[in-house]
Structures are given as C-alpha cells and as structure tokens.
Amino acid sequence: MKSTGIVRKVDELGRIVIPVGLRKKFNIQDNVDLVEIFNDGDMIIIKKYEPSCMFCHEENDLISYKEHKICKSCLEEINKAL
C-alpha cells in the first residue's frame, strides 16, 4: 500500500476530507459518487463504490430489482431454475 503523506483530522461528527487530488485521481465526483468503507485488521480502506451483481459481483450489464443489482448472466440462470 502506497502512502500519500497526507494527514487529516477527524471532525466532531467523524468526518474526514478526501483531498481533491485523490478525488480527481480516482474520479470521485462531489455530491455524485458514493464510497465504501472497509476495514482490514487495523486499517480503514475507502474505495469508490462500483455497483455489482449481488450473486457473482460482475460490474457490467446490471439490472436493478428492488434496490438490488443482478447481472444478465445470473438473471438467465435464475430464469432457467424456475
């Protein structure tokens, strides 16, 4: 993992600011994109959210159904099973 050398304070509401340079590098648009927060041991990982199929995690050809994402391939498999 590469260090950026950037240090930020956490405010009283638990927020931190992601520097504009990093937002540009990862194409994170203000008030548009979502980020996911993970932990790995003692590390906190922030990743730009990319919707994916709830079954196979494919990110292309997604269909929304009741707030869930399903890829066309998994949808075809479900239809065959019915």
Diameter of the chain measured on Cα atoms: 54
Count Cβ atoms within 10 A of the Cβ of residue 52 and give its class: 0-12 exposed, 13-18 middle, 19 or more buried.
Answer: middle
Distance (Å, whole) CA 1 – CA 31: 27
Domains and CATH numbers, the chain: 1-50 (2.10.260.10), 51-82 (no CATH)
> Is 0.75 topped by the overall pTM?
no
Summarised one tens digit per residue, pLDDT across range 35-66 is: 999 999 999 999 999 889 999 999 999 999 89
Residue carrying structure tokens 């990093």: 22
| Residue 22 amino acid letter | L
